[in-house]
Structures are given as structure tokens and as C-alpha cells.
Amino acid sequence: MKGHPSRQAPKGENNIECSGSSRRRKESAIWSPGEARRPILEEAPVYYPNDEEFKDPLGYIASIRHNAQKYGICKIIPPASWSPPCPLREKNVWECAKFSTRIQQVDLLQNREPMKKKKTRKRKRRLHSKTGSTRRQPRSLGSESNTHSDSSDDKFGFQSGSDFTFEEFQTFSKDFKELYFRMKDTEVWKPSIEEIEGEYWRIVENPTDEVEVLYGADLETGVFGSGFPLESSSPKSSTLDQYATSGWNLNNLPRLPCSVLCFEENNISGVLVPWLYIGMCFSSFCWHVEDHHLYSLNYMHWGEPKIWYGVPGSHAAALEDAMRKHLPDLFEEQPDLLHELVTQLSPSVLKSEGVPVYRAVQNAGEFVLTFPRAYHSGFNCGFNCAEAVNLGPVDWLEHGLTAVELYSKQCRKTSLSHDKLLIGAASEAIRALWELSAVENINSINLRWRSFCGKDGMLTKAIKGRIEMEEERLKRLLPLVQLQTMDKDFGLKDEQECFSCFYDLHLSAVKCQCSPGQFSCLKHSNLMCSCEPENKTVLVRYNRDELNTLVQALEGKLDAIEQWTSKDPDNFSLNRRQHNSVKQDSERDGFETDPSMKNDSLSGLLREQTHNPKKQCSSCSDDATTSYASNHSSGKKLFGVDLSRGSPSVQQNGTFDSEIDPLSTKVSERTLLYHVDPLKLGSIASGKLWCSKQAIFPIGFRSRVKFFDASSPEITSSYICEILNGGLIGPLFKVSLEECPDTNLVSSSAQKCWEMISHRVFEELATKLNPGRQDLPPLQPDTECINGLGMFGLLSPPIVQSIEALDTNYQCLEYWKNKLKLKDECVTVKGPSGSSESTVDMARSAVMERGQCSGTKVATEEEHANYSSSNTELQLVLRRLLNKADPEELRIMHKILCSGSTSPEWRIAFATLSQEILRKV
């Protein structure tokens, strides 16, 4: 079977049969220890993170980057506690699952003739039946040899081999190695790593035999399965969950917070989805860099060692020059030879050309990290299994920009939209700055994003560099061509590329009237057609002012931060890009059992509110239930538009056709009763911004309400309403779709939040009802039927009562003053002097006095005088009160009065008195 050396076997040599095949091969290649060509190299650094350091993969990689990147590669040995189970070792996979292989002609990796000069003689090898066809390679690269299975005759490549199970390939690999190194006659001796390495480079540099091996490379874990446990498939075990959710699990690593690859929506195989590599002795991964010059991380699940060679990214060009110098015929025939990943060159030769090369030996349970644009290669010493994926920390951005510019020169297709990742990272960083300054949401992720910002931050520099490049290219075209803002969805689903160099067109593109479906980058607009510049248009995603705002926001200017985030409310999401790990706070129709909610009286109120949603305010007779839309029993009417009657026509003025549009119906006839589910009450905050005359705004308040879905208005969805701490600007009201937390709006007004959602719903409805109509003015919903405070539940009597109970010290003065004012007309009693005095006046005076104690001026002197009593009246009232007290109570009262109005005792007494007054009102 393929994979064995192909020389004629000496007389009497045993034949080997590969499991699963009836074909037999005779072996002839033999180890030549006296001709070993092992290169003498400096070892790459090895790092040993402790348990605490190991918790944060990107943080740890950042901590070693400054030193380790000088070597191009390094090895990371996990702490002893790291021992992930490997699902591939399970019997049903080990014995049954088959993977494909490639034939590697090791003796031709360096010393081979160009295909056009190749002699007509064929290599002496027997072909094997192929159970599968040649595998098509994705555009992305893995961290080992991502070689192409190209069976064409015009270039050298790796052909498809047979399929194996792990069990079969282990037997095959063992037999090959034992026979090659003549280990059959001994039970003790086996070649050392150094001896295998010396023999490998002898075969590559000075071959005397034809040696072929097999390699199970670039196996897609999304199809075949990963060597790490997956969260979705793991049983409920704390041990398995630990590894299924770990950042070092290569299925999770690319999209960790603060990784730029978070902003790539597609699961690109080999980049964001790991690949597996099943090796045998001498199977190789040839010199290459990662796609887009990304980092890569390789983990060996089991097996014999893998030997790595790395060249730092600073010497990438020197390696390329050395390769061209020593393999001129191959490069003349195939200038992009290094992209094919089928060519080795001895590290000894590279060293002789002044290229630094470092070596690492990877054992089972160890990671190897490669840095941006670091060339690396290597081979396996025997049967093993490794898994690899790419990662993109923020420091990669400058290398990624170099890569796409290089790809443009080479007219090479890209795998990622670098600009989309760059803008996504910048927006996320600005969101973090906003949270830190406005919401005071201090956490490790926000702090790390902030570390990339500032005038000298690496993210700020990356954005500045890209903008300067873009502006320089625009100057060459303007003012001859027109400038136009591109549609917001341009290139987001099907990434647009330059027709000439395949440059990504996320930020800008040039189009011409003569070819509407064709676009070019700013560099190649003159090649697109022969039309005059006046016929061409430059589409830009952001204008100059917006890009300046972006830079200023990254530099930390608060007004710019607010301006950029207001452009796209989705940037306010507090759980952005955590969709795989976000857990809902409650069931869809239940509520959170927050400690503040665990009391019988509140539970009763909630039950009462749920079963009796229509309540009347205790302060007035107004109905506290808010109406916001028309939703008749069929559930098919929205803002007066009957969805069940098909698509109504829309007149040019933007209103629905009256024949089928009931928009003229009165609002009262288009109402829908609703109720709000409270999830968390939150806590009372002091300050006039934290309440209004109508409601109190507790920090951390959360509720759930159903409303028409912003993207599918024909259905209703649950929205989560939250009150956040906006610092100096007071409360911030946030509304998000429960099933999609990234879809959210934040405003300083609850009303504004729900008006914006109302507009979104109505615009989406108009789009669905009028597909393809671009000439219509925007439709406007009837926002008068939206009550933002009501949608939050802040007008619901049971919730109001629960929130009021939190304000034991009556900090929300404006709210209480208004409530007392409403009560004033309802309750009066006779004062001690026989005059008519409102009991509420006494409470109002207490609230006023409370405001003065806290340093807040709540009434004018004239207002205060209206509520004062004469000394005689005051004495009478106090004597009637004190006659009921015993000596101990009188002593305590005396102590409180002597302590002064700034003492804790005074404040407690005042608060208690205020509560009693209001309780008896």
C-alpha cells in the first residue's frame, strides 16, 4: 500500500500488508546513520504557565510575545492540571471513523527537477485504490502543511492516498517505522529523536532512495470531529465542561474576547475551525506562513514527537530570497511555489544564508505557537495526532494589513476581510470605553480593550495607518470621480473583491456606469474600463468626518465616543460576541429569583400583576396599562396594518392606501393590553436624575415585555428592559431582544428607546410590504401609543409598590413630592389648634426637611413658610406625643436631638418618622 519506501526489497525481506487492503509492497529503503544530516540549531523558547496564568490564553500569549516572537515559534507546556480527554480515542471513533491521507514523496521535497524537465521515467511505486476523490482545499491555511492535492501534470503536488481508521493507521505507521529502521529483530532498541531527524534531512538533502509516506493532513474537525470535547456534545460533567469551555480548547480560541477574529461571522475551515493532522514517521509540513500572517496554535493530542523549525517574521523575506537562490529552476517554473507548501529547504542551508532558524520538539500534551509571518516547517517522528487553529490578537492587525497589501500585489485571493475585522475591533474598543466611562462597567475585558486605545495604542495606530493609506489613494482619484456613501449591506454577505487584484472592498470600491456589477479597488480603477473618470463613482462606507470621529474616540475623547456609538446602537451591547456562552437570566415566561425579589409580599404582588394586568394607579384614576399597537385576535395587525390581508399598497406620500389601511382608526381602537414581567428590582440611587414625577429609576432594574419583533414584525418576541448606571448622565435605559442580546438600543430616555424600536419595526414592516420600492419616503409609526415608562413596567402598580418599598429614606424627592401633591386633595384632618391641616402637609414638611438634611434645596423659603407652625402649636403637638413615651423612650429621643442633624441617629429617626407619616396617609 502507498506510504512505504519504493525500492526493490532485498532477497528474503518480509512483505508487509496494510490493514484494510489486499495489496502488498516490498520495502527497500534503509536507514543510513553514517550519512545523517541533522542540522545544529538553537532551541526555541519553552514556557510553563501556572494555573492562574493558564486561565487567560490571549493574556498569556501577550505576556510572552515580546520575547518569543523573536524566535518565530515557541512551545507552551500546560500546567499538570491540564489533561483534556480526547473524544477521538473513544472506541467508536478509533475503530470506525475513516480519514483520508496524502502521499508525500519525501525525497523530492527539496531535490526535484521542474515538471517540464522531468524525465519520462516513472517512479517505481504501485498505485492503490482510492476510496475517495482528491480533496478540494479551502482558501485558508492551517498551522501545519496545508498542501494541495493537485493531480495535474503541470506542477508537483501531493496526491490522494487511501482512507484509514486510527487503528489501521497506527498499525501501518508502526510497521513502516520498524521496517525502515530495522527494529524487527530487537525488542529494546529504537532510534532517538536526533537519529530520526538526521535521517529525515539526509533523505531530503541527499536522497539515495525513493521514500513515500502518508499524511492525514488538514482534516476538517467540523466534519470529522475535534480532539477536544465540545460543549454541545459533552455530558453534564464538570470535568468535561471545564475542557469544553476552556479558552485553550482550539474550538473556542479564535473567538475569545479581545480576539479580532470575533468579528468574522463565517466559520472558515482551518482558520476559525481547527484542522486535524494524523502523522507517521517522516510525514512533513513544508515551509509556509499562515494565511493573512495570522498566529497559529497547535496542540498534540497523543503520539510520538513532532519536530518544528521556525524563522522569525522579521526574516521572512530573507528566507524567501534563500529559497529562490537555492531552488532557482523550481521558482522560475512556479513563482508562487511557497504558496503550494510542497517544498522543503534544509535549515542548515538557510543558516548558511544568514537566516536564523530555531527548533522545537513537541510532545503529546504540548502546544506550539507560531507568530505572524513566521515561516515554519517540520515533520513527525511517528504516529501522532495534532490539532491546529489560527488566532488574531489585536497586535496581529499590523501584520494582517501587510498581508493583504502583499496579496494585492500577488493578485492572490484573501480569506478574510481585514478592514471588517479592523473596524469591528475599533467599534468594540469604543464600546468598552463607553461602558467604562458612562456605565462604570469595569471588567477585565473592557480594561483590556482600553489598553489598546489612547493616542499610542496599537489599535489606534492600526486604524490611523489604514485611514492614511485610504486617504492617500483617494487623493489620486478625487475630484475627478464622484464620491458616494455605499449601501450599509454592501459586501457584508458576499464579500466584494477587486476584479483585478482581489483586494477586499469593505471600506471603499469604484464602480462605473458601463459595468454596474463590477468593482475595483482604489488602485486599479483605471484598469476596469476605458471610460472617463466622470463616469465612475467611489463608494465609501465612512466619510472623512466619520473616520476622524473613529480615531478621536479611540484616543479617548468622550464626545467622539458618544458620537460613534450613537451611529450604531448595537455597539452598546454589553454581551457582544458572547453568543456561544451567553446564558439567559430567566426562562422566556418566568422571572429571575434575585435576592431582592425573594419575599412573600412581593411574590404575591407579582402573581397579582400577572393575573390581573389591568390596574388603576392608587394616586389617580388613570389606567396604568399602556397600549402600543394594534394586535387584534388574529395577531396580524400592526400599527393599523392588517398583515393577514396581504401587502397593502403605499402611496407616494408614504401613507398606506386607505382602502386597505385602517391607520385612520382612532388609537383607542388599536390598543393592546399588555403586562410586564419583572426580573430584578435593582437598588435606589440618590440624585434628581434617578426619578421623575411619574417613576423611580432603580439601578439594575430589569423586566421583560413582549412586542413586535424588530426584524420579523409579523411575530412578537420578548424584549429585556434594563436601567443602567450612566454615571454623571444618570440612568441609561436599554432594551434588547432576549433571544438576540446583540440587537439592542440604549438611550437616556425610556420613551426614546421604545420610539426607536417602534420606528425599526415600522420600517421593517414597510420593507416587507413594499419590496424593491426605493423611491418611497420613510413611513412613520404612531408613537403616541408607545409609553416608554409603561413598557419598562415602571407604571405597573405592583412593580411601583415594590420599587417604592426600596426607597426607605425617600431619596427620590421629586417623585415623592408629586405623589404627595396628588394625595393632597384627597385626605385632610383637624390640626391640634382646631384649624384644618392636611396630614399630607406634615409628610410634605418631613420630605422637605429630609431634603435639607441631605443638602438638597427642595423648596423656596416662601414655600417653606407656608408649612410652618407657631411655637405654641408645636409645643402642644410635641407634649401630646411625649406624654405617651416612657422614661427610656424620652432618654433616646433626647440623645437623638442632642446628636445634631448630621448624625446617623438623627437620620434614622427622621427616616422612621417619615415612613410612619406616609404609612398613615
pLDDT at 37 over 60: yes
Of residues 215 and 612, more confidently modeled: 215
DSSP characters over 303-320: ES-EEEEEE-GGGHHHHH
Alpha-carbon distance of 328 to 891, in angstroms, equals 104
pLDDT computed for residue 901 by the predictor: 60
Most confident stretch, 115-119, 640-644, 665-669, 693-697? 693-697
pLDDT computed for residue 877 by the predictor: 67
In the block, cell 416587507 appears at 768
Render pLDDT for 598-628 as a digit per residue (tens, 0 to 9): 333 333 333 333 333 333 333 333 333 333 3
pLDDT computed for residue 615 by the predictor: 36
pLDDT computed for residue 577 by the predictor: 38
What's the pLDDT band for 653 if we cut at 50, 70, 90? very low
In the block, cell 456562552 appears at 581
pLDDT computed for residue 2 by the predictor: 36
Of residues 903 and 543, more confidently modeled: 543
Q: 185-194, 206-215, 293-302: lowest mean pLDDT where?
A: 185-194
What's the pLDDT band for 480 if we cut at 50, 70, 90? confident
List of E strands, 700-759: 702-708, 716-725, 731-737, 740-747
Which is nearest to 63 in space by CA: 42, 48, 83?
Answer: 48
The number of helices, as runs of H, and strands, as runs of E, in the chain is 28, 30
Render pLDDT for 58-107 as a digit per residue (tens, 0 to 9): 999 999 999 999 999 999 999 999 999 999 999 999 999 999 999 999 99
pLDDT computed for residue 592 by the predictor: 37
pLDDT computed for residue 687 by the predictor: 81
pLDDT at 775 over 90: no
Contacts of 230 (CB under 8 A, 6+ apart): 244, 251
Q: 28-37, 729-738, 908-917: lowest mean pLDDT where?
A: 908-917
Of residues 585 and 419, more confidently modeled: 419
pLDDT at 313 over 90: yes
Contacts of 869 (CB under 8 A, 6+ apart): 877
Contacts of 343 (CB under 8 A, 6+ apart): 109, 110, 286, 287, 323, 327, 330, 337
Q: Are strands 716-725 and 42-43 parallel, antiparallel or unpaired?
A: unpaired
pLDDT computed for residue 343 by the predictor: 94
Q: Does domain 676-767+785-817 have CATH number 3.30.160.360?
A: yes
**Arithmetic mean of pLDDT over the chain:** 76
The predicted model gives 418-440 an average pLDDT of 91
Render pLDDT for 115-165 as a digit per residue (tens, 0 to 9): 776 554 444 443 333 333 222 233 333 346 333 334 445 677 778 899 999
Which is nearest to 750 in space by CA: 798, 808, 790, 809?
Answer: 790
Alpha-carbon distance of 302 to 327, in angstroms, equals 35
Alpha-carbon distance of 613 to 602, in angstroms, equals 15
pLDDT computed for residue 361 by the predictor: 98
Q: Are 70 and 357 in contact (CB under 8 A)?
A: no
**Whole-number percent of the chain with pLDDT over 70:** 69
The predicted model gives 209-226 an average pLDDT of 89
pLDDT computed for residue 769 by the predictor: 62
pLDDT computed for residue 212 by the predictor: 94
pLDDT computed for residue 233 by the predictor: 52
What's the pLDDT band for 318 if we cut at 50, 70, 90? very high
C-alpha cell at 889: 423612650
The predicted model gives 364-381 an average pLDDT of 97
pLDDT computed for residue 270 by the predictor: 79
Instruction: Please confirm whether the linkage preceding 648 is cis (ω < 30° from 0).
Output: no
pLDDT at 745 over 80: yes
Render pLDDT for 776-833 as a digit per residue (tens, 0 to 9): 344 444 445 688 999 999 988 889 988 998 888 888 888 888 887 775 544 443 333 3
Render pLDDT for 321-360 as a digit per residue (tens, 0 to 9): 999 999 999 999 889 899 889 999 999 999 999 999 999 9
Q: Are 404 and 503 in contact (CB under 8 A)?
A: yes
pLDDT computed for residue 873 by the predictor: 57
pLDDT computed for residue 187 by the predictor: 58
pLDDT computed for residue 185 by the predictor: 59
What's the pLDDT band for 647 if we cut at 50, 70, 90? very low
pLDDT computed for residue 576 by the predictor: 42
The predicted model gives 678-703 an average pLDDT of 91
Which is nearest to 396 in space by CA: 295, 315, 316?
Answer: 295
Render pLDDT for 570-583 as a digit per residue (tens, 0 to 9): 444 433 433 333 33
The reply to whether 676-767+785-817 shares the fold of 42-110+157-393 is no
* Neighbouring C-beta atoms of residue 556, cutoff 10 Å: 17
What's the pLDDT band for 675 if we cut at 50, 70, 90? confident
pLDDT at 36 over 80: yes
The predicted model gives 405-429 an average pLDDT of 94
- What's the DSSP call for residue 835? S
Render pLDDT for 841-876 as a digit per residue (tens, 0 to 9): 444 444 444 444 444 333 333 333 333 344 555 666
Render pLDDT for 832-850 as a digit per residue (tens, 0 to 9): 334 433 434 444 444 444 4
Q: 425-429, 723-727, 809-813, 821-825: lowest mean pLDDT where?
A: 821-825
C-alpha cell at 260: 479580532
For every residue of 599-654, which 3-state class applies, written as one string? CHHHHHHHHHHHHCCCCECCCCCCECCCCCCCCCCCCCEECCEEHHHCCCCECCCC
Q: 37-41, 421-425, 583-587: lowest mean pLDDT where?
A: 583-587
pLDDT at 293 over 50: yes
pLDDT computed for residue 495 by the predictor: 76
Alpha-carbon distance of 342 to 340, in angstroms, equals 6
Helix-, strand-, coil-residue percentages of the chain, each rounded to 5: 40, 15, 45
Render pLDDT for 486-516 as a digit per residue (tens, 0 to 9): 987 887 777 789 999 999 999 999 999 898 8
Contacts of 533 (CB under 8 A, 6+ apart): 477, 480, 481
The predicted model gives 468-493 an average pLDDT of 86
Beta bridge partners of 22: none
pLDDT computed for residue 876 by the predictor: 66
Q: 299-313, 649-663, 704-718, 720-734: lowest mean pLDDT where?
A: 649-663
Please tell me the pTM assigned to this model.
0.62
pLDDT at 648 over 80: no
Domain boundaries, the chain: 42-110+157-393, 418-576, 676-767+785-817
Contacts of 336 (CB under 8 A, 6+ apart): 410, 412
Q: Are 591 and 679 in contact (CB under 8 A)?
A: yes
Q: Does domain 42-110+157-393 have CATH number 3.30.70.3270?
A: no
pLDDT computed for residue 25 by the predictor: 36
